[in-house]
């Protein structure tokens, strides 16, 4: 089981990006992934630059905060879908689910309930109420720390 997910219970080809293995923090998880890779249950594949760019266009629009690994996972699913495969992302990460929904890529959650709506985000000043599209930390008008909130 890797974070609540057991690769050998799925009978389809499973893919991860190289960074998933690099980011595996605990030795038991890393060993499980390596075992699944060496047995052929999981394949490691890098997404194309074009697929990453398509995902980044959506991320810039929604203002979701994703790691490079998250973007690569979404890009790989987008690329696989373009090659007539039917990818499904397995994740409890709401930002990944949000972009997957925008890209119309199916996803399943492992332990947490999935998202209920797709969000675009903005930065709002709790003091003066100014709203910023860009992801900045402080209000340009009053200097207060901005909060990230869903757009209305």
Average pLDDT of the chain, as a whole number: 85
What are the tens digits of pLDDT across the range 29-88?
888 888 888 988 889 999 999 999 999 999 988 888 899 999 999 999 999 988 888 899
Q: Which pLDDT score is estimated for 83? A: 82
- Residue 6 dihedral angles phi and psi, to the nearest 5°: -110, 105
pLDDT band per the 50, 70, 90 thresholds, residue 6: low
The lowest-confidence range among 33-37, 51-55, 97-101, 139-143 is 33-37
- Any idea what DSSP says for residue 36? H
Under 8 Å between Cβ of 123 and 131: yes
pLDDT of residue 33: 85
**β pairing state of 107-108 and 131-132:** unpaired
């Amino acid at each position: 089981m890797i974070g609540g997910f057991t690769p050998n219970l799925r009978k389809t080809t499973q893919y991860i990006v190289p960074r998933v293995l690099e980011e595996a923090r605990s030795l038991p998880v890393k060993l499980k992934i390596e075992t699944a890779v060496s047995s052929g249950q999981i394949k490691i594949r890098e997404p194309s630059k074009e697929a990453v760019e398509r995902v980044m266009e959506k991320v810039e629009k929604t203002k979701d905060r994703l790691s490079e690994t998250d973007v690569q996972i979404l890009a790989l699913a987008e690329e696989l879908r373009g090659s007539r495969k039917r990818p499904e992302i397995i994740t409890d990460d709401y930002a990944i689910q949000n972009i997957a929904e925008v890209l119309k890529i199916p996803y399943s959650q492992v332990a947490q309930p999935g998202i209920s709506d797709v969000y675009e985000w903005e930065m709002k000043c709790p003091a003066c109420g100014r709203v910023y599209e860009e992801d900045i930390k402080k209000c340009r008008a009053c200097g207060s720390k901005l909060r990230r909130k869903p757009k209305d």
